[in-house]
Amino acid sequence: MLGKRILAFCLFASLISLAFPLSSIGQEAAVQTSEPFAARVVLDGLDSPWSMIWGPGGKLWITEREGKRVVEVDPADGKKSVLLEVPDAKTGPQHEGLLGLALSPDFEKSGLVYLNYTYLDGDNELHKVVSYKYDSAAGKLAEAKDILTGIPAGNDHQGGRLVFGPDGMLYLSKGELGHNQGANRCKPNEAQRLPTADEVKAGDRSAYVGKILRMEPDGGIPDDNPVLNGVKSHVFTYGHRNPQGLKWIDGQLFGVEQGPSTDDELNHLVSGGNYGWPLIAGYPDDQAYAYIDWSSVTGCDKVAADAYLPAGQPSVKETSWDRKDFKEPVRTFFTMPSDYSFSDSKFGALAYLGWATIAPSSLDYYPPDGPIAAWRNSIIISSLKNGALYRLPLSGDSKQAQGDLIKYFHTANRYRQVLVSPDGRSIFVITDKSGNMLDENGLPIQKAKNPGSLLVFEYKGWHRLCRRRRGRCRNRRSAERPGYRRDWHAACAGIGISLVVALMSQSRRRRAVKPLRGEMREGRPEAGRAGDRPARLRQARQRLASWRRRPPGAAAKGTLAAGCRFVTFRDYFVRLLAPQRLTCGAILFIEKPGPMPLERYRIVGRPPAAVLSQKHMRQRSGMAIWASPCHNLTARGTVP
């Protein structure tokens, strides 16, 4: 039958098109060098954005560190509205102000949102966690309530990432305030100091720096927090430098933190773990790092800040420190040999930009069922000084790194946080308003290309006909093939060409009319009687033969019964597009190979259910379509 032959021919042509894409005919084959992405700026003008989460209604909630407000952004068009202003937040040029935020696990019921920011208590700069309640009707956050206050703060290494765990507890990353380096070099680094029982009883948080804190949603100390040096406090892990990223992956907490001049770290954070700083950077390997206690140097404030080793001051090797609770990092960025040179003339006064670090600022996780096949089960880390994202694949149990560190989307910006969209198709990034960084050529610059912006990198390795439901693509197989879209277009072109060829060749053949399995009797399909089929077929052939014998210009009349699939007369053909058993609303499709006035070819009988306008039919180059009601049709035409 015609339909089956055309279908078989089209399928064959599509297979040929997929095997040999049109793009490879007459030109060199394309080579894919990376996953196909398109980038755009969703919104700019943000005042030092610092943290970003998914809020209700598919909107992004972003904190502005220096702007001291929380804004809601529509990721589709960049429309922004203010949810909250925090006037008592204390801001500074780098690490002070409104920092991380997190939604309560029961947000839909409670509407609770948690923030943390720096503030002043007299002359003391401190850090606290505050909860707010979301008023969906007003689109505002209100009813502030202090959760945990009195945490030391400063002008460097604030930490400030805030996340809820699957256990319902709230986790806060806290840096060691940049003590023992630069302008703060004479202040003791207390990342290894643990709170005493008296301090916990008195609510003294001075030992909470350089830690990951774990608290109840109301700020209390969880019963199952680790006991360290015989004391239970908010401290979950310790020995951290500047942990700015926290992410739960398959029930495990991961964090990234910035190293000194080497050895940025990705850590698997476990209860009671000691991560070594300031005595160890990265692995205990005595490579390119040794601890110097500047606070114990006589006349510390008079010693040059860039002095590597003050005269007469011993350094402490990493291997000399032995602690059973020390946890090695999952990966470092990067561990260098002892003879590594930290100076490079091309960086000038910004020499630190050339050091073997990436300055990680956040991390997110790309799930195993995401549409980007190569990214599945990977950690994504944002970089401040390199203005790039780094992807690190994980092992099957998600406990260790498994593969190379791969760099993406390098621009002349400082990437503050990365966030994957719920459907896995878009990667969102917020950028710092100011700071030093490397441009696309690896040279130091001090002006960002997209300061204070929300960027999105959208995956384009799929065809847009892939249907979605609730934000997820229902057909994920297309994402398995990076060249799917090109091959799909080639296949469509092959099918179209083969269909035209098949129809043109068929129109020149004088095939007999073949009855269908059923006939239409007063609008209802009935099975044709076996004894009637030879007679009906003979009548159809006779009618067709009489049409062919008519001289040019003579009128041709006949009945197109619903039992007829295909009827031809001369250079035209009429076809019923319908299943084997016809139903109401069958489509009658009239096509002719050349131009012809529509008035010379009409369908008569009962009024059709829907008729296209004459103008529209002419625009379709001699092709007219009617939605036919359930009755026999009579065709009248003129044979040219």
C-alpha–C-alpha distance, residues 68 and 91, integer Å? 8
Catalytic-residue membership of 240: no
In the DSSP assignment, the letter for residue 496 is H
How many angstroms separate the CA atoms of 95 and 173, rounded? 13
22 and 495 in contact (C-beta within 8 Å)? Answer: no
Contacts of 169 (CB under 8 A, 6+ apart): 214, 215, 216, 217, 222
Continuous H helices in 426-581: 484-507, 532-549
Query: Nearest to residue 635, comparing CAs of 584, 601, 610?
Result: 601
DSSP conformation class of 431: E
Paired tokens of 35: 């996953």
- Terminal-to-terminal C-alpha distance of the chain: 28
User: Which class for 380: exposed (0-12), middle (13-18), buried (19 or more C-beta within 10 A)?
Assistant: buried
- Cα 174 to Cα 152: distance, rounded to the nearest angstrom: 9
Helix (DSSP H) and strand (DSSP E) numbers for the chain: 6, 40
Determine if residue 138 is left, alpha or beta; phi over 0 gives left, psi from -120 to 50 gives alpha, anything else beta: alpha
Q: 238-270: string of b/e by CB count within 10 Å (b at 16+)?
A: bbbbbbbbbbbbeebbbbbbbbbbbbbbbbbbe
79 CB-side CA count, 13 A: 5
Taking alpha carbons only, the member of 589, 544, 590 closest to residue 570 is 544
Distance between CA atoms of residues 81 and 220, nearest Å: 33
Tell me the two tokens of residue 351.
Answer: 């020499």
CB 623 within 8 A of CB 590: yes
d(CA 145, CA 443) in angstroms, rounded, equals: 46
- DSSP helix/strand/coil, 56: helix
Question: In this structure, which amino acid lies at residue 365?
Answer: Y
Report how far apart, in Å, the C-alpha atoms of 228 and of each of 72, 208, 325, 326, 358 are: 40, 13, 10, 13, 32
290, 385, 281: which is closest to 334 by C-alpha?
281
Whether the CB-CB separation of 51 and 63 falls below 8 Å is answered with: yes
Tokens standing for residue 3: 């339909």
**Catalytic, out of 157, 179, 234, 240:** 157
As a whole number of angstroms, the distance between CA 319 and CA 575 comes to: 85
Residue 341 makes CB contacts below 8 A (sequence gap 6+) with: none
Residues near 246 by beta carbon (within 8 Å), at least 6 away in sequence: 161, 162, 163, 171, 173, 212, 253, 254, 255, 269, 363
Catalytic residue ranges:
157
